A = this chain, B = another copy of it.
């Protein structure tokens, strides 16, 4: 799961570990508080597996920053870099760049078979623009099916058992949360069909 997030960030621009952590912390809420103790080993693993490659950049002007593509928060990095004299390096930091193998792994993780928890799904959806339209739709509908099943389970638990007000409130609120998620998903699926359907004319079977 961490690997997915790292690769997703590196897909946009090259970064060093410390910066990756910052992006995860205040970038999107999911996966806040990843610690260095898991981040650095993860980067090492990815490098060993050939998914990313690292360049030692200390005093060299090879500053990672926004390539002309879009002025995202890369400009902040420039500001920050200007903050201390360019020409001096802080501590030799390792800047990571994604490889072709990394991109392959990324989409594999992104579309991968078993999307379990809410976190993983949220992360996948957050990077969903890197997926092909039909893979995106598949992701959404797989999640939808899961939630339907989960809702049924929760409802089943509510039915027979006699719970006190607190336990009952927890169960009901859980069910409401799942329902809200389902409505959200339905909206997303609808929007997805609106945009891709008329153009691509997908040969969709089931329905």
Contacts and interface: CB of A to CB of B under 8 A. Distances in A.
A160 B69 contact: yes
Contacts of A70: 162
A72 B169 CA distance: 18
A176 B169 contact: no
A163 B174 CA distance: 29
Contacts of A153: 26, 29, 32
B169 A27 contact: no
What is the count of identical protomers in the complex? 2
B125 A161 contact: no
Contact of A174 (B26, B29, B129, B171): B29
B180 A28 contact: no
A154 B165 CA distance: 31
A120 to B, nearest CB: 12
Contact of A180 (B29, B68, B72, B176): B176
Given A26-B156, A156-B26, A127 B32 contact: no
Interface in A160-202: 160-167, 169-171, 173-174, 176-177, 180-181, 184, 188
Contacts of A184: 169, 173
A99 to B, nearest CB: 23
A198 to B, nearest CB: 18
A170 to B, nearest CB: 5
Contacts of A7: none
A126 interface: yes
